[in-house]
Structure 1
Amino acid sequence: ALGEDEVAATKRVLGFDPEKSFEVADEVLAHTRQALDRGREAKAEWEKGFQEWRAAQPERAAEFDRIAACELPAGWEEKLPAFEAGKGVATRAASGKVLQALGAVIPELWGGSADLAGSNNTTIDPNSSFLPADNPLPGAKPYGRTIHFGIREHSMAAEMNGITLHGNTRVYGGTFLVFSDYMRNSVRLSALMHLPVTYVWTHDSIGLGEDGPTHQPVEHLASLRAIPGLNVVRPADANETAIAWREILKRYTKVFGKGAPHGLALTRQGVPTYEADENTVKGGYVRFEAEGGEPEVILIATGSEVHVAVEAREQLQAAGVPTRVVSMPCVEWFEEQDQGYRDSVLPPSVKARVSIEASIGLTWHKYVGEAGRTVSLEHFGASADGAVLFREFGFTAENVVAVARESLAVVSVR
């Protein structure tokens, strides 16, 4: 910082009185305030043209008013795809179908990917690109719906923050979950500014396979959940994915300080599809209830590991152990619920619990408690087929059953 003597010397060089501070000459004020007159004239001219446009284009004006009010078009929820139970679908593919279905009815929804659109399934309209009209890509125009961000994850996230601050559109951007490392500072700013930005992170576990440990996220889910104000959503199947997108769009707000960014963590590999459950929007819910009495053990899982928990439940039930499966797609949404609801999903009386997530287990210790166990990944992955890695690293029904019995044994001796 300049000291008083240097400040005074600088003022003398510039022709100012060194004894005066924050002095603004009258001629400077007069010149600057001319901008007010120019602004009034410009606004009046713009308002005249705007009113002429409204009169000539009443339907588009009504749509503009809807978008400016941050409302969604009537009937948009009816366009959401529903997925047949039993069929294996990758959640990234389900997300892509949701975007293409909603893109046709929500014109303010747009986005793209940091060079991985084909893998992220983030192309909302293949015939519309946000580019200069003379660009050779299909459908290039200044009002295109698909954004080609390029290989620049941090820039993509920063741009989405700016787009959201500008208002009147709803933007999303995709990349692999492991590359969220590159964009973390911009994601953190999304949360800090309470901006309803949507991140689409695919290839969310070792299930991505042969790309190997450099591309397999391990610590990323826990690390992103640690950002205050960021909601991380890891749906179990295609129907949870559709409901999650619906909830994210409904939570969108233009009220500064009231919004929240969301990050969808989606699978590369296909996972079984279950019947849609509206309790998805509560962040955690009973996916399958215990049979034959009150649950003796609770299996808590997210994403592609939910079906592993379901298979483990079948084995435990067959052995006479009433077992509940809880799907927890969004810890943050679950924590928003009242204590009564949370206790109904995770009864305090049931001490035997197992969490299953192909990531480090930092998130889950508070939910499984002292007698509980975690089936997690506390090391880097390897280069092999995703199914092989799940088997080798213990993400199997058989291992979950064995770990559940460990937890049950701890409870029985207390």
Structure 2
Amino acid sequence: WPAPNAQNTEASHGSALGDEEVAATKRVLGFDPEQTFEVSDEVIAHTRRALDRGREARAAWEKDLQEWRAANAERAAEFDRIAAGELPKGWEEKLPVFEAGKGVATRAASGKVLQALGGVIPELWGGSADLAGSNNTTIDKTSSFLPKGNPLPEADPYGRTIHFGIREHAMAAEMNGIALHGNTRIYGGTFLVFSDYMRNAVRLSALMHLPVTYVWTHDSIGLGEDGPTHQPVEHLASLRAIPGLNLVRPADANETSIAWREIVKRHTRVFGKGAPHGLALTRQGVPTYDWNEDAAKGGYVLFDAEGGDAQVVLIGTGSEVHVAVEAREQLQAAGVPTRVVSMPCVEWFEEQDQAYKDTVLPPSVKARVAVEAGIGLTWHKYVGDAGRIVSLEHFGASADGNFLLREYGFTPEAVVAAARDSLGATER
């Protein structure tokens, strides 16, 4: 509208009007069809007055800013630090280190990291799409990002906890806008399976290289009784397929702490322009291993072979790493030197030089098994022709999470069987 011939036709959606229809539309609007991009002197003069108004507004703002700086030297210094993309001194010392051996859900570990960092990084804020209690994303229970006078407790326009509501796509889109605005560090959480609702906005995060952090919990069939509609199967591989998105699936509480540290650092290198990150976190508790700095490289040797060079390499992520560790114990006891590689982030691992990658996954070791409670699409590259993948190539079911993992073969015995099959394939 008001193109006289094109309006109310499908052609008006995807096709240029063309010279004749443009001329006809100009006649309807009272313009001279012979003139191209005609702008009257009156319009130009009116538009350019905006420059004067802008200069006046900027000068007034600068005056107010300088007065504020003079009266608030400490806060001004903090603002300058944030605007420069720098982090406060000593922030890494606040990261929690978890006791080895203790079972902790990685979603719970993530919540403890956020609460620890929230006290020292005031520009860090975020929330959840109505699943805060499950996502463990509440950075400050005493403040909510809401207008003054809102009936919810602790409503504050400077509150740090965002109540996004059950709007996953809107949450992700808002996070993109917040990142583009700059000067704060934003995160938002929901269940991993609901990343489907967010995908267009997540894709745009990657397309625009935005430093946003997605906290996706309940990362596998291990969430159990909610059933297959809530159990992500294809999501890990699907999200890894988005160029520029770094997906991190930590094996335990300490990897979760290291992952958050690495994400915060990466979002500092070029503040306002970087790579979005997604954290895929467990509902169920998983064993905690010793802190290992190499987790920040995306893939590393968690337990090396004993009694000789590795004959087989087991690669795991997330809640399946401990299954690989237990399988290693069985293989070692049977006289098969076995290495376990934890690979929390394929994208970070691929950034490393080939020499490092070869130390983790020696090219000479052809017997390999990857184990992840989702489709195995990611892992063919890493296991090779003789390798095997313990994966889930179908939807789950509604039952206790541990029961499902056993029923669908995410057990040490299944990994041992796959390792022996891979060893046999290397001998043929």
Instruction: Tell me the equivalent position of 2:423.
Output: 408
Instruction: Tell me the equivalent position of 2:3.
Output: none
Q: Secondary structure of 2:301's partner?
A: strand
Q: Secondary structure of 1:20's partner?
A: coil
CA spacing shift, 1:254–1:32, aligned 2, 3 Å: farther
Q: CA deviation at 1:410?
A: 1.0
One-letter amino acid matched to 2:425: V
Match of 2:176 among 158, 161, 169: 161
Question: How much is the aligned-residue C-alpha RMSD, in angstroms?
Answer: 1.2
Q: Secondary structure of 1:362's partner?
A: coil
Q: CA deviation at 1:253?
A: 4.2
Q: Distance in 2 between matches of 1:263 and 1:7?
A: 47
Instruction: Tell me the equivalent position of 2:232.
Output: 217
Q: CA deviation at 1:289?
A: 0.4
Q: CA deviation at 1:256?
A: 8.0
Instruction: Tell me the equivalent position of 2:103.
Output: 88
Structure 1: unaligned runs, 5 residues or longer? none
1:21-40 equivalent positions in 2, closer than 5 A: 21-40=36-55
CA spacing shift, 1:117–1:11, aligned 2, 3 Å: same
State which drifts further: 54-63 or 382-391.
Answer: 382-391
- 1:182-211 per-residue CA deviation (whole Å, 9 max, x = no partner) reads 000100000000001100000000111111
- 1:372-393 per-residue CA deviation (whole Å, 9 max, x = no partner) reads 0000001111111111111111
Instruction: Tell me the equivalent position of 1:112.
Output: 127
Instruction: Tell me the equivalent position of 1:70.
Output: 85
Q: Secondary structure of 1:363's partner?
A: coil
Runs of 4+ residues over 3 Å off in structure 1: 12-15, 253-258
User: What's the TM-score, normalizing by structure 1?
Assistant: 0.98
Q: Distance in 2 between matches of 1:93 and 1:257?
A: 28
Instruction: Tell me the equivalent position of 2:340.
Output: 325
One-letter amino acid matched to 2:88: P
One-letter amino acid matched to 2:158: Y
1:388-407 equivalent positions in 2, closer than 5 A: 388-407=403-422
1:4-403 equivalent positions in 2, closer than 5 A: 4-253=19-268, 255=270, 258-403=273-418
Q: Secondary structure of 1:252's partner?
A: helix
One-letter amino acid matched to 1:204: D
Q: CA deviation at 1:258?
A: 4.7
Q: Distance in 2 between matches of 1:254 and 1:402?
A: 44
Q: CA deviation at 1:29?
A: 1.1
Q: Distance in 1 between matches of 2:361 and 2:196?
A: 32
1:194 touches 1:256 (CA, 8 Å); kept in 2?
Answer: no
Q: CA deviation at 1:137?
A: 1.8
- 1:348-367 per-residue CA deviation (whole Å, 9 max, x = no partner) reads 00000000100000000010
Q: Distance in 2 between matches of 1:100 and 1:178?
A: 25
Q: Secondary structure of 2:339's partner?
A: strand
One-letter amino acid matched to 2:242: I
- 1:243-295 per-residue CA deviation (whole Å, 9 max, x = no partner) reads 00000000004848951000000000000000000000100000000000100
Q: Distance in 1 between matches of 2:188 and 2:224?
A: 23
Q: Distance in 2 between matches of 1:210 and 1:87?
A: 24
Q: Secondary structure of 1:98's partner?
A: helix
Q: Distance in 2 between matches of 1:254 and 1:407?
A: 42
Q: Distance in 2 between matches of 1:313 and 1:12?
A: 79
Aligned residues: 413
CA spacing shift, 1:107–1:4, aligned 2, 3 Å: same
Q: CA deviation at 1:26?
A: 1.4
Q: Distance in 2 between matches of 1:276 and 1:332?
A: 21
Q: CA deviation at 1:399?
A: 1.1
1:236 touches 1:302 (CA, 8 Å); kept in 2?
Answer: yes
Q: CA deviation at 1:19?
A: 1.5
2:327 touches 2:412 (CA, 8 Å); kept in 1?
Answer: yes
Q: Distance in 2 between matches of 1:9 and 1:359?
A: 58
Q: Distance in 2 between matches of 1:27 and 1:388?
A: 75
Q: Distance in 1 between matches of 2:405 and 2:23?
A: 70
Q: Distance in 1 between matches of 2:22 and 2:363?
A: 66
CA spacing shift, 1:295–1:254, aligned 2, 3 Å: closer
Q: CA deviation at 1:133?
A: 1.4
One-letter amino acid matched to 2:262: E
One-letter amino acid matched to 1:328: M
2:179 touches 2:272 (CA, 8 Å); kept in 1?
Answer: no
Q: Secondary structure of 2:125's partner?
A: strand
